[in-house]
Amino acid sequence: MKRWWSLLLLGMASCSISAMDVDMPTPTDLPSTESAQVWLRQDPAVQEALADMAGAGHVAGMLRASPHEWTVKATSQQRRYEAGPTSREWAAQLERTIRLPGKKAMDRQLGDVEVDLAQARLGEAIHEAARSLLDLWMAWAQTEHAKKLIAEQTTFAQSNLQAAKTRQRAGDASRLEVNVAAGDLVEIQQRFAQASAEAAKAQARLRIRFPDVPSGLPTLSEPQPVAMPEQAWHELVMASSDPLRIAELEMRKAEQQADRARADRLPDPTVGVFTASEAFSRERIIGVSVSIPLPGGYRRERLGQALTAVDAATAARDRQQRVVETEIAEAYADASGNHARWQLATKGARHAADTARLTQRAYTLGEADVQTLLLARRQSLQASEAALDARVTALRAYYRLLIDAHRIWGLAHE
């Protein structure tokens, strides 16, 4: 197990972007770096990538060792004569196919690129697990805070009902108004029950994927504007993009396989030594054998296929680069635009909350009807939920940018 942790740290180090790129302090409304690293290590996708990385080490060892092995041959025979005794004879041979000079170095390079690919895939598994942790954590935080909002609205609806009853006792309101206010309270209580169920489901999804998540109300800080310009973020994310690195390594692997196929157009020779005993052991034979396959169309077609694979891998690398650049532009636009949206939604929620309080006071004084009172409460809840959604969306977009740039949770290493 310790070896796997070492492989994990090596894989996370492979995700580093440059010597100047270090982790930023983890935002207070996210899990700590220590907790996040433990959860990421335990993620099944990361464990799978760790196993694949260990397997890549064996593949590299196989390529270094060569597929050719020693072959031992032995024969025994009897030579019968028309007159005279039978001669017992035997022969033995030891041979092996030998890699031509240069092929061993190519195989070693292919083994190295297999290890590099496994490290990059491990980095991508960690990156995707970090994205999932962020999404599940923020979804849980949103449902918990939504439940808190509705609980506050339940208290507000109870105050509305109490105000209606007070006015009824004073002869200033009808029983109908009390019933309407009571129905509104039941409606918001149903919303609270639904919000509680949604919060429980969100927490369950988080704990199943990442066990040992602490209980309690997660905090939500105020979204911060994106400080660095888009070009700076573009360079950071491009330099640390695991999918792009995987595509580049796949292209390098295809190029090396094409070089190996080109070298294989000259077949490896098989050399051996042999000895034999014949003619009543009076004849001893010792010799050397050399055999070389005669190359044909198969090797030529194999080289053509390898060269085509290089073109395909190059196109895949270019396609992946455009995909990553598009994702960076979209992520930066989301982080910037969602911050402005949150500011506006928060301002609207404050106004709606003030309106609801003023309307409740006006109703208590007999200056507003019950429909206006309930409408103000519902609009306040809608505005508060919109502000909460804008806050979570802005935070998630900014934190996603940090994760893609490998700036938090130990994703950037020297």
Instruction: Copy the structure tokens of residue 23.
Output: 């982790």
Identify the weakest region by mean pLDDT among 34-38, 204-208, 250-254, 279-283.
279-283
> How far apart are alpha carbons 198 and 332 in whole angstroms?
30
Q: Which pLDDT score is estimated for 215?
A: 77
Cβ neighbors of 387 (< 8 A, separation 6 or more) are: 342, 345, 346, 348, 349
Cβ neighbors of 202 (< 8 A, separation 6 or more) are: 136, 139, 140, 142, 143, 144
> How far apart are alpha carbons 146 and 159 in whole angstroms?
20
Identify the weakest region by mean pLDDT among 31-45, 167-181, 194-208, 265-279.
167-181
User: How is the chain split among helix, strand and coil, in percent rounded to 5?
Assistant: 70, 10, 25
Summarised one tens digit per residue, pLDDT across range 199-250 is 999 999 999 999 888 877 889 999 988 888 999 999 999 999 999 999 999 9
Residue 71: φ, ψ to 5°: -120, 130
Summarised one tens digit per residue, pLDDT across range 99-138 is 998 999 999 999 999 999 999 999 999 999 999 999 999 9
Q: pLDDT grade, residue 385 (50/70/90)?
A: very high
Q: pLDDT grade, residue 5 (50/70/90)?
A: very low
Instruction: Copy the structure tokens of residue 323.
Output: 């995909």
Question: What single DSSP character describes residue 273?
Answer: E
pTM here is 0.84
Collapsing DSSP states into helix, strand and coil, what is residue 67?
coil
Summarised one tens digit per residue, pLDDT across range 327-360 is 999 999 999 999 999 999 999 999 999 999 999 9
Query: What mean pLDDT value characterizes the chain?
Result: 89
Q: pLDDT grade, residue 22 (50/70/90)?
A: low
Average pLDDT over residues 320-326: 96
Residue scoring higher pLDDT (319 or 411): 319
Average pLDDT over residues 146-157: 93
Instruction: Copy the structure tokens of residue 19.
Output: 């010597």
Residue 315 pLDDT more than 60? Answer: yes
Q: How many other CB atoms are there within 10 angstroms of residue 72's CB atom? A: 9
Residue 323 pLDDT more than 70? Answer: yes
Identify the weakest region by mean pLDDT among 146-160, 167-181, 185-199.
167-181
Q: pLDDT grade, residue 413 (50/70/90)?
A: low
Q: What are the structural domains, with CATH classification, of the chain?
A: 2-68+101-265+317-404 (1.20.1600.10)
Q: Are 370 and 364 in contact (CB under 8 A)?
A: no
